[in-house]
Amino acid sequence: MFLRLSALFVSALLVLLPGQPTSGQPAYVLSDEAGLGRLFDGIGGLSGGGATSRLLVNYKEPYRSQILDYLFKPNFGASLHILKVEIGGDAQTTDGTEPSHMHYENDENFFRGYEWWLMKEAKKRNPNITLIGLPWAFPGWVGRGKNWPYDFPDVTAAYVVNWILGAKKYHNLDIQYVGIWNEKSFDATYIKLLRYTLDKSGLDRVRIVASDNLWEPIAQSLLLDPELSGAVDVIGAHYPGTKTVPQALKTQKKLWSSEDYSTFNDEVGGGCWARILNQNYVNGLMTSTISWNLVASYYEDLPFGRDGLMTAQEPWSGNYVVESPIWITAHSTQFALPGWTYLQTVGHLGRGGSYVALTDGKGNLTVVIETMTHDHSVCIRPPLPAFNVTSQNATFQLKGSFASIKELQVWRSQFNFETKKPSFFQKLAPVKLIDGSFTLNLAEDEVYTFTTIRAGQKGSHPAPPPSARFPKAYKDNFNIRNPPFSEAPNFADQTGVFEYYQNLTDPGPHVFTLRQVVTERPITWAADADQTISVIGDYQWENLTVTCDVFMETVKSGGVFVAVRVDKGGQSVRSTKGIFLWVFADGTYKVTADLAGQTVLAEGQSGTGAYSWYTLSITGKGQSVSVALEGRSLWNGTVNLKQNHGWVAIGTSSFQLAQFDNFAVLAE
Ligand SMILES: *[C@@H]1O[C@H](CO)[C@@H](O)[C@H](O)[C@H]1NC(C)=O
Ligand SMILES: *[C@@H]1O[C@H](CO)[C@@H](O)[C@H](O)[C@H]1NC(C)=O
Ligand SMILES: *[C@@H]1O[C@H](CO)[C@@H](O)[C@H](O)[C@H]1NC(C)=O
Ligand SMILES: *[C@@H]1O[C@H](CO)[C@@H](O)[C@H](O)[C@H]1NC(C)=O
Ligand SMILES: *[C@@H]1O[C@H](CO)[C@@H](O)[C@H](O)[C@H]1NC(C)=O
Ligand SMILES: *[C@@H]1O[C@H](CO)[C@@H](O)[C@H](O)[C@H]1NC(C)=O
Ligand SMILES: *[C@@H]1O[C@H](CO)[C@@H](O)[C@H](O)[C@H]1NC(C)=O
């Protein structure tokens, strides 16, 4: 810790020395006498990277609006200052794929997915919210067939700038910051070209964040290349463990923890968030911290289940949970806005914990104090070095512009790990200051806000409906559209993109269908499967029948499947196991125990071809499985999978167009 501090003293921006001891206790001075610290850019949440808000959009009202209130409404809950979203690239980006605004080179559609909707809902609640876009992946055509976005940097820049222009044109959304390529390599030529393309498109107000990865490589490049430095406004690092590096400080750029947290949202998750929100500035001079993810709205058995500020993973029941990170966020967000400035007088408390102070420059002061102990504030990464926190008395002495403050509003959270009865974001009686000073008896695992701002509020809505499992009888014929959305409820695409489709030419009974639309392997962020797949349902499902109509649009190598007991999604989608019934356009069928099709349980002739509809079904009951085509039994077998339960899924044998209709599950 102290080694880090010496690095910060080099920057001469931080004064950590406690003030005059009063009655034997150390006093922490809060003052602007020696000038101020860095400008505060706000606290945010990240939707995407990937598909983390997938289930949120399908909540019924009023629950959906309530969840959005807890996230975005000023003086209510997390009251976030920043919403960062993924610029969908048709590829798997952790918990699913998000659709691109340009699946194909000559294609353009700014109404896909849910990020546009989410940004508008956030903006509706807080018109000041800062919007950020960042690509994780790109459609294949951007790389001209190579899994790399920088060989044709003009194509990539035009693609990204087009997304920003579309946000304004179709949704009246001003994107304020844009990033490069999440947690991948950056390319100086591309960054300069992106800057040039933004400026040329009248978007000189849009700032560039680079490179959403580590500190060193980008900081080093900025120090060596003045033109690059001119193009980049913010260095964004991921999971910095509250620390920065000397090169980053030397650039004099804004430093952000542009992705952080990613921790299970129980009380230890809340503790992690409390510690890093303060210490990202105290130790690393970061002026913004953004949580991956915004809200855990994806199937919990996908990777990093419940790693969001709150949980909303049951649109079918309406149940959601306002978790502790929401109230920890409120301690900062409700009492300091972007544009406020940190004081130089921030630091560590003598017996562990930290404090930050911010001002609006007009006399208002907000102090946030946390005393999270090591074991109660561990984040998913990086490893947390040992430190001790014990109860302590702390005296704060206000000086400079703040010397005459007579009273501060007080908000407190106590995690109470021992009694398991936490109390979050409670408003206490205001504290009266004597000669600008107040003393606090701090216990372990507490968070306090002391502020001149009176507007804070612990918002609440009536309790949502109780939690319930995914319905056992579930049907979707894709005829009833969910107006603003391109995707059918509860389907969580893991490779490829499945969209509502309407056949306008002599449609027959299949006018409205769900169609897989990605026809070329994207520039990937994760290891997407070679097949496409969308999962749905209850991960515990074992005994059930699934039925679905399928339609291949690829003549020679067309292939589609329906599957049960699907055990994986996310980044490990390539090794997904389950029971897959495939039919192919060459007139054959297969039953396999994996998505990759390597373990064949049965195969034979099916008489299937492209441009015809077929009904597939699978019934699983313990180890007995039977599959049928057009209601005709194809195969009965005994299967012994390592895991005998999982989601239901649909998909295709490669990146190809195919349609699905009349999907139905009946589970026991
Ligand atoms: C939005 O910004 C304006 C201008 O800075 C400020 O007066 C207002 O309080 C802000 N509102 C919220 C909800 O942050
Ligand atoms: C503090 O903020 C409030 C609300 O924005 C404002 O009315 C007031 O003038 C500010 N200054 C002080 C010293 O309270
Ligand atoms: C924490 O306190 C324990 C017990 O007093 C001590 O042994 C340990 O060295 C301390 N750890 C740190 C990192 O200060
Ligand atoms: C804090 O001060 C109170 C008296 O105000 C005293 O009883 C207590 O022991 C002190 N606690 C610590 C940890 O010094
Ligand atoms: C649309 O429907 C017609 C008539 O059933 C069919 O011939 C055609 O293949 C369908 N096209 C698509 C893309 O589904
Ligand atoms: C599924 O059915 C089998 C065979 O009847 C039974 O042993 C098993 O407990 C059932 N599983 C569930 C989750 O109900
Ligand atoms: C599968 O079992 C059912 C019920 O016993 C039977 O009617 C059907 O003919 C069997 N299918 C095959 C392909 O053997």
State residue 324 phi and psi, 5-degree precision: -55, -35
Measured from the CA of 81, which atom of ligand 1 is nearest? 14
Tell me the per-residue pLDDT of 323-334, one tens digit each, with 9 for 90 and over. Answer: 999 999 999 999
Tell me the per-residue pLDDT of 153-165, one tens digit each, with 9 for 90 and over. Answer: 999 999 999 999 9
Catalytic residue, chosen from 98, 259, 267, 370, is 259
Distance CA 524, CA 521 (A): 8
Q: What is the pLDDT of residue 506?
A: 80
- Measured in angstroms, how far is the CA atom of residue 243 from the centroid of ligand 6? 51
Distance CA 105, CA 99 (A): 14
Q: Which of 2, 3, 387, 388 to mutate to test the pocket of ligand 3 (most atoms within 8 A of CB)?
A: 388
Tell me if 635 CB under 6 Å of ligand 7.
yes
Q: What is the pLDDT of residue 333?
A: 99
User: 459 lies in a domain?
Assistant: no
pLDDT beyond 50 at 1: no
Tell me the per-residue pLDDT of 428-458, one tens digit each, with 9 for 90 and over. Answer: 999 999 999 999 999 999 999 999 999 999 9
Mean pLDDT of the chain: 95
**115 a catalytic residue:** no
25 lies in the same domain as 85? no
Q: What's the domain range around 122?
A: 41-311
> What's the length of the chain?
668
pLDDT beyond 60 at 8: no
User: 661 lies in a domain?
Assistant: yes
Task: Give the CATH number of the domain where residue 550 resides.
Answer: 2.60.120.560
Distance CA 97, CA 54 (A): 10
Tell me the per-residue pLDDT of 510-569, one tens digit each, with 9 for 90 and over. Answer: 999 999 999 999 999 999 999 999 999 999 999 999 999 999 999 999 999 999 999 999
Least Cα distance to 478 among 505, 517, 509 occurs for 509
Give 15's pLDDT tier (boundaries 50, 70, 90): very low
7 burial (CB, 10 Å; 0-12 / 13-18 / 19+) is middle
Tell me if 366 CB under 6 Å of ligand 2.
no
The ligand placed nearest to the CA atom of residue 392 is: 4
Least Cα distance to 449 among 362, 350, 384, 364 occurs for 364
29 lies in the same domain as 48? no
Write the Ramachandran bin of 71: left for phi over 0, alpha for psi from -120 to 50, otherwise beta: alpha
Q: Output b/e per residue, 100-131; b: 16+ Cβ within 10 A.
A: bbbbeeeeeebebbbbbbbbebbbebbeebbb
> Whose Cα sits closest to atom 9 in ligand 6?
622
User: 468 lies in a domain?
Assistant: no
172 lies in the same domain as 199? yes
Q: What is the pLDDT of residue 12?
A: 30
> Whose Cα sits closest to atom 4 in ligand 6?
622
Distance CA 89, CA 115 (A): 12
HEC per residue, 62-79: CHHHHHHHHHHCCCCCCC
Q: What is the DSSP letter of 463?
A: P
Domain boundary among 291, 311, 331: 311
- Measured in angstroms, how far is the CA atom of residue 646 from the centroid of ligand 6? 13
Measured from the CA of 636, which atom of ligand 7 is nearest? 1
Q: What is the number of other CB atoms lying within 10 angstroms of the CB of residue 300?
A: 12
Number of domains in the chain: 3
Distance CA 304, CA 569 (A): 11
DSSP output for 341-363: EEES--EE-TTS-EEEEEE-SSS
Give 4's pLDDT tier (boundaries 50, 70, 90): very low
Tell me the per-residue pLDDT of 32-53, one tens digit each, with 9 for 90 and over. Answer: 999 999 999 999 999 999 999 9
pLDDT beyond 90 at 196: yes
Q: What is the DSSP letter of 56?
A: G
User: 587 lies in a domain?
Assistant: yes
Question: Interhelix angle for 153-171 vs 115-125, to 10°?
Answer: 50
Least confident span in 2-6, 96-100, 364-368: 2-6
Least Cα distance to 650 among 532, 552, 568, 558 occurs for 532
- Start-to-end CA distance of the chain, whole Å, equals 56
30 lies in the same domain as 56? no
- Measured in angstroms, how far is the CA atom of residue 504 from the centroid of ligand 1? 47
Distance CA 614, CA 618 (A): 13
Task: Give the CATH number of the domain where residue 384 resides.
Answer: 2.60.40.1180
Tell me if 542 CB under 6 Å of ligand 6.
yes
Tell me if 553 CB under 6 Å of ligand 6.
no
400 lies in the same domain as 274? no
Catalytic residue, chosen from 183, 520, 553, 603, is 183
- Measured in angstroms, how far is the CA atom of residue 463 from the centroid of ligand 4? 40
Give 9's pLDDT tier (boundaries 50, 70, 90): very low
46 lies in the same domain as 32? no
Q: What is the pLDDT of residue 484?
A: 74
Tell me the per-residue pLDDT of 401-427, one tens digit each, with 9 for 90 and over. Answer: 999 999 999 999 999 999 999 999 999
CA distances for 434 relative to 396, 437, 438, angstroms: 11, 5, 7
**520 a catalytic residue:** no
Tokens linked to 91: 């590829």
Distance CA 188, CA 45 (A): 27
Tell me if 452 CB under 6 Å of ligand 2.
yes
Percent of the chain with pLDDT over 70: 96
Measured from the CA of 626, which atom of ligand 7 is nearest? 1
User: 331 lies in a domain?
Assistant: no
- Greater pLDDT, 640 or 297: 297
User: 82 lies in a domain?
Assistant: yes
Q: What is the pLDDT of residue 25?
A: 58
Q: Contact, 618 vs 590, CB < 8 A? A: no
Domain boundary among 396, 419, 451: 451
Tokens linked to 525: 């962020």
pTM for this predicted structure? 0.96
Q: What is the number of other CB atoms lying within 10 angstroms of the CB of residue 94?
A: 26
Distance CA 490, CA 298 (A): 9
Measured from the CA of 386, which atom of ligand 3 is nearest? 13
Percent of the chain with pLDDT over 90: 94
422 lies in the same domain as 516? no
Q: What is the pLDDT of residue 495?
A: 99
Tell me the per-residue pLDDT of 84-130, one tens digit each, with 9 for 90 and over. Answer: 999 999 999 999 999 999 999 999 999 999 999 999 999 999 999 99
Domain boundary among 399, 416, 451: 451
83 lies in the same domain as 200? yes
Least Cα distance to 177 among 210, 207, 211 occurs for 207
Give 13's pLDDT tier (boundaries 50, 70, 90): very low
- Measured in angstroms, how far is the CA atom of residue 110 from the centroid of ligand 5? 25
User: 327 lies in a domain?
Assistant: no
Question: Interhelix angle for 153-171 vs 188-200, to 10°?
Answer: 40
477 lies in the same domain as 444? no
- Measured in angstroms, how far is the CA atom of residue 245 from the centroid of ligand 3? 26
Residue with tokens 């991956």: 292
Task: Give the CATH number of the domain where residue 103 resides.
Answer: 3.20.20.80
Tell me if 543 CB under 6 Å of ligand 6.
yes
Give 480's pLDDT tier (boundaries 50, 70, 90): confident
- Measured in angstroms, how far is the CA atom of residue 393 from the centroid of ligand 4? 6
pLDDT beyond 50 at 340: yes
Q: Contact, 86 vs 93, CB < 8 A? A: yes
- Measured in angstroms, how far is the CA atom of residue 413 from the centroid of ligand 2? 25
Least Cα distance to 199 among 207, 188, 190 occurs for 207
49 lies in the same domain as 158? yes
User: 126 lies in a domain?
Assistant: yes
554 lies in the same domain as 441? no
Q: Which of 589, 626, 627, 634 to mutate to test the pocket of ligand 7 (most atoms within 8 A of CB)?
A: 626
Give 507's pLDDT tier (boundaries 50, 70, 90): confident
406 lies in the same domain as 551? no
The angle at the Cα of 333, spanning 253 to 232, to the nearest 5 degrees, equals 20
Q: Which of 393, 438, 440, 446 to mutate to test the pocket of ligand 4 (most atoms within 8 A of CB)?
A: 393
Least confident span in 135-144, 483-492, 587-596: 483-492
Tell me if 391 CB under 6 Å of ligand 4.
yes
